A and B are shown apart, each in its own frame.
Chain A
Amino acid sequence: MAKHEYAFYPGCSSQKGASASNYLTSVESMCKTLDVKLTEIPDWNCCGASIGYAEAGELPRHVMNARNFALSEKHMPGQEIVATCAACWLGARETRERLTHSDTLMADTREALKEAGLTINEMPNIRHMVEVLIEDLGFDEMKKHVVRPLEGVKIAGYVGCQTNRPFGVDGESFENPQYLDKMVEMVGAEPIPEYEQKVTCCGGALAFSEPEKAQAQIKDIVESAYDHGAEMIVTPCPLCQANVEIYQGQINKTYGTKFNIPVMYYSQLMVVAYGGSAKDAALNGQVIKARRLEEIAAKPVKR
């Protein structure tokens, strides 16, 4: 019996061979260490993301998320749903808010769900993995398992948008959230609290449709990380991670910069600090390799 159990909503980007597959790998090994049991919601579907709006309309968007709620309720009644992807978490959480505040919307949703042979009786709590770590486990608990502190590594905590606004992590500010810095500290690395681009938008889906717009924003985010002497950037959001990491090459072409900074997930840092291997931390999943972490991961664990 694990200490903490949740229904798990990995989301499309975390699937095998998808853009955030490395995120999932590292989360799984992180959870093993922390004795957190995640049970994937059977046959879960896409949240529609915020970018789906043109075709989605209101009800269909919510219905998509509602289906996941229904499945979770059916297979894991009473369990909270945990998402690792910021967009999944936000999409699901928005649906939750709307359905709880509009009876019509709720009724319509139930009617549509019927077509898939499903229904919702009670609204599940939707949590982001970061919330679970901070609120359910706490920094002390997380710190306990650090056996290989990432000493001397300077890391810029890039929070981005969707884990921060409009809901955000409880008790954090929209303009200057601290939790990533605390996590960096927790794994024995060096945070950069004055990193002022920590909540700047990475351009989101515009990175695909209007790259030049998004890349202008990504440039600021990376540049400021360099200015503060960061060796790597850490983030809780798959889209942030991808956007900030994979376009550095193109940005260099456009702006003549020499960007080449690894962009990690908090979970990857934790796995390494918890004594996990480069493979457990899915460091091979980096487009820009995190050499420094690889070295540390190769070191024997201090006991």
Chain B
Amino acid sequence: MTDIVATNETILVVGGGISGMTAALEAAETGKNVVLVEKNPALGGRTSQLYRYFPKLCHPTCGLEINQRRLKNNPRIRVLTLAEVTGLEGGIGNYTASIKIKPRYVNENCTGCGDCERAVETEVPDPFNYNLGVHKAAYLPNAMAYPQRFVLDPAIIGTADADRAKAACKYGAIDLDMKEETIQVKAGAVIWATGWQPYDAAKIQPYGYGRFKNVITSVEFERLADIHGPTGGKILRPSDGKEAKNIAFIQCAGSRDENHLRHCSRICCMASLKQTHYVREKYPEDGKSTIYYIDIRAIDRFEDFYQKVQADASVSFIKSKVAKVTEDEHGNPVCHGVDTEGYKRYTTPHDLVVLAVGMEPSVKGINIPGHIVADSSGFIEADPSNGAVFGAGCATNALDVNRAVQSATAAALRAIQVVNKVAKAEA
């Protein structure tokens, strides 16, 4: 991307997930200059870690490819990765953001050839796979990574491994002297699209996440099904690598619960319904899914997807919030509870338990520079006192991808309305 000097007509987009990318692209394709800030080394955010989307079961990387092509062809967008906004001064039409940029230790000379990866020996947990697997300390964040540029893990800086990486690179792309820097960016409006994080499942004590290896979260399950995941797309359970064919999905793991998240996270029901497809896809003969739920929230046109899954004999639905999970002598997680439709008790062992963990806004707890109005769950609320800082996507509400993109598109217009005024004012 050509370096643009940010002016007040520039729109600053914080977060490079599907919402942030959408907001940035829609604004840029309407002729505005955009600075897109992402804290990870590559764009794509949480959707790029999903195996398939509901309800079409298509692949998120497909839309990501298009968005990346839009990005590559659009000089109006300046992308900053490994970058976080640490301060925001000023007001409507005239903000100055301080952006902290972590060193990548790899410069634009990188061709993505992978020689450094082959040279280093250290392996570190792979956050793209929720640390279910490891990758080399010199790595391409993922196969679809944009920018398509390698990263050195800070852990090896100052070690022989770093020197090995540097020696292996024929193109002078490795720069071990890179330092963390903080830059200032001026912008007329800011779009806050920092997305969500999965609720910490360890806090839901009765389900034993962290105590029992074969209790995992729904986001981790996505990685198990994905060909780029730690198991190469096989659904194997963590404890012993055994094929997990009889899988329990526990809904509202953290959501709709005053001890955890008070709100409903909206996507989890559809996500679990979708994940039953993974089970059938991988084990067409003897795959078995059980969904423990309070209400199935297959909202609006997603209903027919729910009906299809209901018609599937390999999937059973039990209206019950599981009381607790224990582990039997074979390491099988066992669900204990009561089917509330006519009081039927159950104590059912499964190969694997998947917790449909709730959505927690990433803004929650993080102190957004400047004052931003948030609701009781920590989602950004639209409010005049937010000035020209507009929330987008899951930073504003528990949304599915479709709604997040709508929200981001709307946010882009709100930002444009501000910078258009600025432009007029300056002209």
- A175 B206 Cβ-Cβ under 8 A: yes
Known: A175-B206, A175-B324. 7 other contacts (CB 8 A): A173-B205, A174-B205, A175-B205, A175-B208, A176-B205, A176-B211, A196-B326
Chain B 196-217 interface 0/1 with A at a Cβ cutoff of 8 Å (1 = within): 0000000001101001000000
Nearest-CB residue, chain A, relative to B210 = A176
Q: Contacts of B326 on A, CB cut-off 8 Å?
A: 196
Q: How far is the CA of A174 from the CA of B323 in the complex (A)?
A: 13
Q: Contacts of A175 on B, CB cut-off 8 Å?
A: 205-206, 208, 324
Mind listing 9 A-B residue pairs with CB under 8 Å?
A173-B205, A174-B205, A175-B205, A175-B206, A175-B208, A175-B324, A176-B205, A176-B211, A196-B326
Q: What residues of chain A have their CB less than 8 Å away from a CB belonging to chain B?
A: 173-176, 196
Nearest-CB residue, chain A, relative to B203 = A173
Chain B 59-100 interface 0/1 with A at a Cβ cutoff of 8 Å (1 = within): 000000000000000000000000000000000000000000
- The B contact surface, by secondary structure, is mixed
User: How many residues does chain B have at the interface if contact means C-beta atoms less than 8 Å apart?
Assistant: 6
Q: How far is the CA of A74 from the CA of B105 in the complex (A)?
A: 71
How many pairs of A and B residues are in contact by the CB < 8 Å rule?
9
Q: Contacts of A196 on B, CB cut-off 8 Å?
A: 326
Nearest 9 A-B pairs (CB), nearest first? A175-B205, A173-B205, A175-B206, A174-B205, A196-B326, A176-B205, A176-B211, A175-B324, A175-B208
Q: How far is the CA of A174 from the CA of B211 in the complex (A)?
A: 14
Interface set, chain B 213-264, CB cutoff 8 A to A: none
Chain A nearest CB, measured from B285 CB (Å): 34
Q: How far is the CA of A174 from the CA of B207 in the complex (A)?
A: 12
Nearest-CB residue, chain A, relative to B211 = A176
Q: Contacts of B205 on A, CB cut-off 8 Å?
A: 173-176
Q: Contacts of B211 on A, CB cut-off 8 Å?
A: 176
Nearest-CB residue, chain B, relative to A175 = B205
Q: How far is the CA of A175 from the CA of B327 in the complex (A)?
A: 14
Nearest-CB residue, chain B, relative to A227 = B329
Q: How far is the CA of A29 from the CA of B408 in the complex (A)?
A: 68
Chain B nearest CB, measured from A181 CB (Å): 14
Chain B nearest CB, measured from A36 CB (Å): 32
Chain B nearest CB, measured from A170 CB (Å): 15
Q: Contacts of A173 on B, CB cut-off 8 Å?
A: 205
Q: Contacts of A176 on B, CB cut-off 8 Å?
A: 205, 211
Q: How far is the CA of A174 from the CA of B326 in the complex (A)?
A: 14
Chain B nearest CB, measured from A164 CB (Å): 12
Chain B nearest CB, measured from A105 CB (Å): 23
Q: How far is the CA of A173 from the CA of B208 in the complex (A)?
A: 11
Nearest-CB residue, chain A, relative to B208 = A175
Chain B nearest CB, measured from A221 CB (Å): 14
Q: How far is the CA of A176 from the CA of B206 in the complex (A)?
A: 9
Q: How far is the CA of A288 from the CA of B205 in the complex (A)?
A: 34
Q: How far is the CA of A175 from the CA of B209 in the complex (A)?
A: 12
Q: Which of B205, B324, B326 has the most CB of A within 10 A?
A: B205
Q: Contacts of B206 on A, CB cut-off 8 Å?
A: 175
Nearest-CB residue, chain B, relative to A194 = B211
Chain A nearest CB, measured from B222 CB (Å): 27
Q: Contacts of A174 on B, CB cut-off 8 Å?
A: 205
Q: Which of A173, A175, A196 has the most CB of B within 10 A?
A: A175
Nearest-CB residue, chain A, relative to B325 = A175
Q: Contacts of B208 on A, CB cut-off 8 Å?
A: 175
Q: How far is the CA of A175 from the CA of B211 in the complex (A)?
A: 11
Q: How far is the CA of A176 from the CA of B208 in the complex (A)?
A: 9
Interface set, chain B 292-310, CB cutoff 8 A to A: none
Chain A nearest CB, measured from B395 CB (Å): 31
Chain B nearest CB, measured from A159 CB (Å): 14
Nearest-CB residue, chain B, relative to A174 = B205
Chain A nearest CB, measured from B345 CB (Å): 15
Chain A nearest CB, measured from B187 CB (Å): 44
Q: How far is the CA of A173 from the CA of B211 in the complex (A)?
A: 13
Nearest-CB residue, chain A, relative to B327 = A196
Q: How far is the CA of A204 from the CA of B41 in the complex (A)?
A: 57
Q: How far is the CA of A174 from the CA of B324 in the complex (A)?
A: 12
Q: How far is the CA of A20 from the CA of B407 in the complex (A)?
A: 64
Q: Contacts of B324 on A, CB cut-off 8 Å?
A: 175
Q: How far is the CA of A173 from the CA of B210 in the complex (A)?
A: 13
Q: How far is the CA of A196 from the CA of B208 in the complex (A)?
A: 11
Chain B nearest CB, measured from A3 CB (Å): 35
Chain A nearest CB, measured from B258 CB (Å): 14
Q: How far is the CA of A175 from the CA of B206 in the complex (A)?
A: 6
Q: How far is the CA of A176 from the CA of B202 in the complex (A)?
A: 12
Chain A nearest CB, measured from B334 CB (Å): 11
Nearest-CB residue, chain A, relative to B324 = A175
Nearest-CB residue, chain A, relative to B204 = A175
Q: How far is the CA of A244 from the CA of B326 in the complex (A)?
A: 22
Q: How far is the CA of A190 from the CA of B211 in the complex (A)?
A: 20
Q: How far is the CA of A196 from the CA of B205 in the complex (A)?
A: 13
Q: How far is the CA of A176 from the CA of B209 in the complex (A)?
A: 12
Q: How far is the CA of A195 from the CA of B211 in the complex (A)?
A: 13
Q: How far is the CA of A196 from the CA of B334 in the complex (A)?
A: 13
Q: How far is the CA of A23 from the CA of B354 in the complex (A)?
A: 44
Q: How far is the CA of A96 from the CA of B211 in the complex (A)?
A: 35
Q: How far is the CA of A173 from the CA of B206 in the complex (A)?
A: 10
Q: How far is the CA of A175 from the CA of B324 in the complex (A)?
A: 9
